[in-house]
Amino acid sequence: QKEVEQNSGPLSVPEGAIASLNCTYSDRGSQSFFWYRQYSGKSPELIMFIYSNGDKEDGRFTAQLNKASQYVSLLIRDSQPSDSATYLCAVGGNQGGKLIFGQGTELSVKP
Amino acid sequence: ETGVTQTPRHLVMGMTNKKSLKCEQHLGHNAMYWYKQSAKKPLELMFVYNFKEQTENNSVPSRFSPECPNSSHLFLHLHTLQPEDSALYLCASSHGQGKGYGYTFGSGTRLTVV
């Protein structure tokens, strides 16, 4: 079992729709959860982090964490073509500062 | 300059060459990382340094040799590489301790081995 799992996609949504990206993790001791966006040929960029169960909203982005289910998600409301990228889930906290990355989900937002 | 700076941005090298990648962070972080990202593949952790001490070597071939002279600088020395080593090499830094702070990535070095 992979430590952090994501569907590789591609996930295709129409412009203006809600994109839902999911991530599961295997280490119950994990304490911190991050979402990175990576445009093709570019480096990953941190867009959200969450430490506590529940929802955390930042603009059009909402991160959701459920530690009991070992599940973290990212919702993107009013999706735009500029949101088309690969989204990486990263989990940390039980191995010092090291983060474990998922393989990423490719999102395509169609105009 | 702020953030994490990587040089060069692009590098083409022959299999017999020796080259070095450089990473510098201006964030006051104490952990630095090297990652390899091949086309359509996930990030592969290569090396971890905490307070300039290597804490992880993820079974990386010896043709890759890291160097961390201080907490702000990280190098990756390359020699006798193979074509399959062509990839995007990413440097990242973080606070390194506690419950896991997010990484800040550099822009990466796009390496092509010919």
Q: A25-80 pLDDT, tens per residue?
A: 999 988 899 999 999 888 999 999 999 999 999 999 999 999 999 999 999 999 99
Query: Please, are residues B45 and B33 in contact by the beta-carbon 8 Å criterion?
Result: yes
Residue B53, pLDDT > 90, answer no
pLDDT at position B41: 81
Look up residue B39 and give its DSSP letter.
Answer: T
A48: closest chain B residue by CA = B102
A97 contacts chain B (CB < 8 A): yes
Of residues B54, B61, B103, the one with CA closest to residue B82 = B61
Would you state the pLDDT for residue B99?
Answer: 55
pLDDT at B54: 87
Contacts of A11 (CB under 8 A, 6+ apart): A19, A21, A105, A106, A107, A108
Whole-number pLDDT of residue B1: 54
Specify the pLDDT at position B2.
Answer: 64
Place of tokens 């839902």: A20
Which member of B102, B104, B108 has the closest CB to residue A49? B102
pLDDT at A9: 84
Q: β-strands A85-92, A105-110: how paired?
A: antiparallel
Q: What is the pLDDT of residue B50?
A: 87
Of A84-93, B42-51, B93-102, the poorest mean pLDDT is in: B93-102
Q: What are phi and psi of B7, to 5 degrees?
A: -140, 145
pLDDT of amino acid A1: 63
Among the residues of chain A, which ranges form H helices? Answer: none
Could you tell me if A85 lies within 8 Å of chain B, comparing CB atoms? no
Tell me if B89 sits within 8 A of B10, measured CB to CB. Answer: no
Contact between chains at A88 and B43 (C-beta distance less than 8 A): yes
Residue B93: which of B59, B57, B48 has the closest Cα? B48
pLDDT tops 70 at residue B36: yes
Q: What is the pLDDT of residues A16-26, one digit of tens each?
A: 999 999 999 99
What pLDDT does residue B98 have?
55
Task: Test B104 with A44 for CB contact under 8 angstroms.
Answer: no
Query: What is the token pair recorded at B77?
Result: 């020395």
SS3 content of chain B, % helix, strand, coil (to 5): 5, 55, 40
Contact check, Cβ <8 Å, B100/A93: yes
Mean pLDDT of chain B: 91
Higher-pLDDT residue of A78, B102: A78
Exposed, middle or buried, B114 (CB in 10 Å: 0-12/13-18/19+)?
Answer: exposed
